Amino acid sequence: MSELRRQLGSLIVCGFDNAVLPANLNSLLEQGSLGGIILFARNYVSSSKLTSLTKTISAVSNGRAFIAVDQEGGRVVRFDGDFPVFPSPLHFGKRNDLEGLLNGTSVTAKALRTHGVNLNLVPVCDLDPEDSAHVLHSRAFSHDVKIASDCAKAQVEVLKANNVISCAKHFPGLASATGDPHFQVSFSARTLEEFRKSDYEPFRAAIAAGVDMIMPTHLRAPALDESNIVTFSHKVLQDELRGHLGFTGLIISDDLQMLGALEGVSQIEAGKLALAAGCDLLIYANLQETIESLLDGLEACATADDKLRERISESYQRVVAFQNNNPQYFSA
């Protein structure tokens, strides 16, 4: 295996079916050529089987894998049954109930760590759209910028205190957007000033609290970039997220198998574009059957593109530095 292919693989976080780690993903983790695993309800049978699965992932990866989940509370939970679950973010935001949020986040974080999960893809930093038909309905804390920011900050702090990696999403915010990125590119007519004065604020609060990762979304916002969705926008990720907001942590894509990421491009092209824009980690939610062909395609793209190889190396070094500098997240 080439060093380029190994580095590429280490930037991918992928999902799979059922509750047993597939042999091909096991092999890639052993070789250090897969960054991590994202878990869904389809992977959860019981708390004991979840622990067995995560122990396998951690053991074969020498303790280096990101083991991720969306355990937001409310309608977005991947583990339930005998796993503790709590109300939605909006439940706490509507009541301005920071104490309840802190308790729910703490109990969830402790349960995740006990079961071997080291990355919870929260907080949801979008402002609440106040629309029951919106993709974010009940998933965001509040339409009020201060309440949303206070909740995001509190959630990051509790996750860090419990040695769980945090990820603020969905940058730059979907509150004003039409369309669900699971099925199409979302669109927002917000101005740059509006984004900076309102939507950015919960992300700013999360960054101030030390959030580890930020996830951009498959949003077309012409005021930010006339040509590219945010996931594929060097301008937004570098000038706005890293420049204007000063974020120095890891940028992790949303699922690149969502239709919002695949409008006019293949899964390979989506990965290439996300890397070129500045994403450090790429999520593919169900890749067990096609990961080798994806790696083949990305490796071919990078072999022919000096700038892409430089970006891959930059992200690889950033990910390795994060792992080395934060052993608390990767220890048993």
Closest CA to 161 of 80, 117, 107: 107
Q: What is the rounded average pLDDT of the residues 234-246?
A: 99
pLDDT for residue 230: 99
Using one digit for the tens of pLDDT, what is the confidence trace for 40-58? 999 999 999 999 999 999 9
Cα 96 to its chain centre, rounded Å, is 25
pLDDT digits (tens, 9 = 90+) for 279-332: 999 999 999 889 999 999 999 999 999 999 999 999 999 999 999 999 999 986
Q: Which of 212, 210, 230, 211 is nearest to 220 (CA)?
A: 230
Q: Which listed residue (180, 254, 255, 280) is catalytic? A: 254
Q: What is the pLDDT of residue 16?
A: 97
CA distances from 278 to 69, 107, 246, 247 (A): 22, 33, 14, 12
The pLDDT tens digits for 141-187 are 999 999 999 999 999 999 999 999 999 999 999 999 999 999 999 99
Determine whether 131 is an active site residue: no
Number of other residues whose CB lies within 10 A of the CB of residue 80: 11
Q: Give the amino acid at 44.
A: Y
**First vs last C-alpha separation in the chain:** 29
pLDDT band at residue 38 under the 50/70/90 scheme: very high
Is residue 244 among the annotated active site residues? no
Instruction: Indicate which residue of 91, 143, 182, 244 is catalytic.
Output: 182
pLDDT of residue 332: 63
The domain defined by 3-327 folds into TIM Barrel (3.20.20)
Residue 267 confidence (pLDDT) above 90: yes
Strands (E), 51-118: 66-69
Residue 331's pLDDT is 80
pLDDT above 70 as % of the chain: 100
pLDDT of residue 302: 98
Structure pTM?
0.98
Q: What is the mean pLDDT of residues 61-87?
A: 95
| Cα dist from 272 to 244, 251, 280, 295, whole Å | 24, 15, 11, 11
207 contacts 247 by C-beta, under 8 angstroms: yes
Amino acid, res. 209: A
- What pLDDT, in 10s, does the model give residues 178-234? 999 999 999 999 999 999 999 999 999 999 999 999 999 999 999 999 999 999 999
CB contact at 8 A, 109 and 160: no
